[in-house]
Chain A
Amino acid sequence: MTLTLFADLGLLIILLGLAIITAFARPAFVAVAAYMAYGLVMALAWVRLAAVDVALTEAAIGSGLTGMLLLGAVAWNQRQTEAHPRRRQIRLQVPATHPLLIIVVAAVCAGVSAVLAWVVVTLPEPPTLQVEQVRLALPATGLGNPVTGVLLAFRAIDTLLESVVLVFALVGVWSLADDAAWGGRPRSLRLVQHSHALTLLGQLLPPFGVLMGLYLFWAGADAPGGAFQGGTLLAAMWVLALSAGLAKVPAVSNRQLRLLISIGSLLFLAIGLAGWAGGVGFLGYPAGWSKALILIIEATLTLSIAVTLGMLVAGRPHRALPR
């Protein structure tokens, strides 16, 4: 017991160190790299908090995709600054960076930390929260993983909205394109310099990655995993193939692409509405059908999430299609 506490404290110290580097390191590149490491260590912390589903999501989305995105942005910014040294940096200033204001903000933030810490220590004896209710209701869904049960049955509306969030975020990213580029492809993810090693990885890894992604979705019904974790892994494999130059980013006007992006949410909505016909209401599953329906929803969601995440990483359309 003490040994694991020791390990946990070690984990915590590493986390804190990485968080401080992320927040305060001067070079942006170092900060983002620290954040990616922070995300991976955080995934371990989630395992220690007995939340393996969260650990998988954190590693895939929180650390991997977010880190990749930020790293790309920082690198671009750095190249631009080197190419145009006189360029004015964009600064989102608080009204005045008066030292007094900084002290006040620091005091408020320290206060928030202190009060939260105090709440963490003094919060009353562990209530059972919803552990019991979920355990009793879970058999009705036919699922073995309570987290999937919450995501796709009890709180299906959250998950439906979560899947459309990605679609609308993608529309938001696309909306930043130049009018002339509309309908075209996002910039190629292919690295400027050709690398044989990357090409080899791009050929070798995807079969295993895709298998793993599908496994994560399939296992999600009864063990940690699910559509979001599986979809992210599939997206990562697609992005790998794209950056190795083995595939081309589709154009945003592509009908099939749009359908692939929205099909997960649309099918989720359709099955939800079919609940009325089945007499169990919107987002309800008829008895005996729930596991099958949930798996169908998750399968399409996995596909849609994978395509949407890949397109989100690729960014806004950049070059118009030749007429």
Chain B
Amino acid sequence: MVASTWFGLGAALIIGLSLFQVIINPEPLRKVLAFNLLGSAVFVLFGVLARRGGGRIDGVAFADPVPQALIITGLVVAFAATVLAVALVLRLLQAECATQDHDTECRIDD
């Protein structure tokens, strides 16, 4: 088996376990983290496909550029999703905190 196939198998494994965490883990921040892991493994699977379409020119390995471009776009989109999710979680934690502890202030910057 070529190396990229091994990476594909690894990605398949990571997809399974991060999917499990995404569904089961009740902590919002851990869910977001698991999402990032899941996304990254999906990209690797995509990248393995890109490598299959590639080859070697003058001894330098190259891969199909289209999935590479798609993965770069995907990484940026995934980052935007993470930012939004983390901002929401923090806002939610702060709101919860404010409703539960009336005597102590819950500030985001302390």
Q: Do chains A and B touch in the complex (CB under 8 A)?
A: yes
A320 close to B (CB within 8 Å): no
Contact B65 A92 (CB under 8 A): no
**Smallest CB–CB gap between A15 and chain B, Å?**
6
Contact A4 B68 (CB under 8 A): no
Instruction: List chain B residues, Cβ under 8 A from A109.
Output: 16-17, 19-20, 23
Instruction: List chain B residues, Cβ under 8 A from A151.
Output: 69, 72-73
- A: contact size bracket: 35 or more
**Smallest CB–CB gap between A235 and chain B, Å?**
11
Q: How many A-B residue pairs have CB under 8 A?
A: 280
Question: Assuming A62-B75, A73-B89, is B27 touching A28 (CB within 8 A)?
Answer: yes
Instruction: List chain B residues, Cβ under 8 A from A38.
Output: 37, 40
Contact B15 A113 (CB under 8 A): yes
Out of B27, B83, B110, which one reaches A89, CB within 8 Å? B27
A51 close to B (CB within 8 Å): yes
Contact A126 B29 (CB under 8 A): no
Contact A84 B97 (CB under 8 A): yes
Question: Assuming A53-B72, A65-B79, A120-B8, is B26 touching A91 (CB within 8 A)?
Answer: yes
- Residues of B that sit less than 8 Å from A by CB: 1, 3-21, 23-24, 26-34, 36-37, 40-41, 43-45, 47-55, 61-73, 75-84, 86-93, 96-97, 100-101, 104, 106, 108-110
Tell me the complex Cα distance, A150–B50, Å: 14
Instruction: List chain B residues, Cβ under 8 A from A62.
Output: 36, 40, 75, 78-79
Question: Assuming A147-B65, A169-B80, is B19 touching A112 (CB within 8 A)?
Answer: yes
Question: Assuming A58-B75, A146-B65, is B7 touching A12 (CB within 8 A)?
Answer: yes
Interface centre among A32, A38, A79, A126 (most CB of B within 10 A): A126
**Smallest CB–CB gap between A182 and chain B, Å?**
14
Question: Assuming A12-B7, A130-B64, A172-B84, is B12 touching A113 (CB within 8 A)?
Answer: yes
A194 close to B (CB within 8 Å): no
Question: Assuming A61-B75, A147-B65, is B18 touching A77 (CB within 8 A)?
Answer: no
**Smallest CB–CB gap between A9 and chain B, Å?**
6
Tell me the complex Cα distance, A102–B23, Å: 9
Tell me the complex Cα distance, A131–B55, Å: 9
Question: Assuming A73-B86, A165-B80, is B53 touching A130 (CB within 8 A)?
Answer: yes
Contact A70 B82 (CB under 8 A): yes
**Smallest CB–CB gap between B84 and chain A, Å?**
5
**Smallest CB–CB gap between B62 and chain A, Å?**
5
Out of B15, B19, B92, which one reaches A90, CB within 8 Å? B92
Contact B53 A128 (CB under 8 A): yes
Interface 1/0s, chain A 132-164, versus B by CB < 8 A?
A: 001000000000001101110011001100100
**Smallest CB–CB gap between B97 and chain A, Å?**
6
**Smallest CB–CB gap between B11 and chain A, Å?**
8
Question: Assuming A51-B63, A84-B97, is B29 touching A77 (CB within 8 A)?
Answer: yes
